[in-house]
Amino acid sequence: MQRALLLDRNYMVLSLVSWKKAVKLMVKGKAEPVQGSSSVASVQGVDSKFNVPSILRLLVVIPWKAHMGRMRFTRKNVLVRDNHSCQYCGIGVGKGKSKNTSIDHVIPRSRGGKTDYANCVTCCKNCNNKKADKTLKEVGMILMSKPRKPTFMSLFKHYLKSPPDEWGDYIIGLKA
């Protein structure tokens, strides 16, 4: 069954929720259907039918941290941010666990480089071998772009599978 889009009080995208979670939130009075939203499912309650909206809005305030939690540092998120291309030579690297894909620490770990979005980039095996544990200056390599933390929306959009048109009102850049 299709999932529902959950917005916060200010109509900002929070996450996707299962229809069960959507029902729970509404029964507890923590969320309401967004006006004009179609229904993704209907659930038979004790004495009435309950329509699960495609878009619902949370009525309770949630901490900013909850938004940020979705952007935690993972290898997969680095690959998504870099569009699966080596940040040194631009070659497309395979998705998932492809043998040509690695994550490079721009400042090597052995020199105190951190494992975070600002210091890790997608890298092909060739470039990774060439760079090894040297700095960019030492090896004479240049980054195609400065690595930064991806935006919540760029990651969120990537993980969406065939979203309904009406979500385009809330997800920037979803509509063509």
Site of interaction with Zn ion (CB under 5 A)? 86, 88-89, 124, 127
Q: How far is the CB of 97 from Zn ion (least distance, A)?
A: 18
Residue 7 contacts residue 34 (beta carbons within 8 Å)? yes
Choose between 69 and 90: whose C-beta lies nearer to Zn ion.
Answer: 90
In whole angstroms, give the CA distance from residue 104 to residue 88: 10
Q: How far is the CB of 112 from Zn ion (least distance, A)?
A: 24
In whole angstroms, give the CA distance from residue 66 to residue 119: 24
Using the CB atoms, write b or e for 48-77: b if 16+ within 10 Å: eebbbbbbbbbeeeeeeeeeeeebeeeeeb
Q: What number of H helices and E strands is found in the chain?
A: 6, 8
In whole angstroms, give the CA distance from residue 86 to residue 131: 13
Q: How far is the CB of 154 from Zn ion (least distance, A)?
A: 22
Amino acid at 14: L
Q: How far is the CB of 133 from Zn ion (least distance, A)?
A: 17
In whole angstroms, give the CA distance from residue 152 to residue 148: 12
Q: How far is the CB of 89 from Zn ion (least distance, A)?
A: 3
Choose between 60 and 136: whose C-beta lies nearer to Zn ion.
Answer: 136
Choose between 84 and 149: whose C-beta lies nearer to Zn ion.
Answer: 84
Choose between 88 and 167: whose C-beta lies nearer to Zn ion.
Answer: 88
Q: How far is the CB of 124 from Zn ion (least distance, A)?
A: 3
Choose between 34 and 127: whose C-beta lies nearer to Zn ion.
Answer: 127
Choose between 66 and 89: whose C-beta lies nearer to Zn ion.
Answer: 89
Distances (CA, A) of 53 to 3, 46, 79, 163: 9, 19, 33, 14
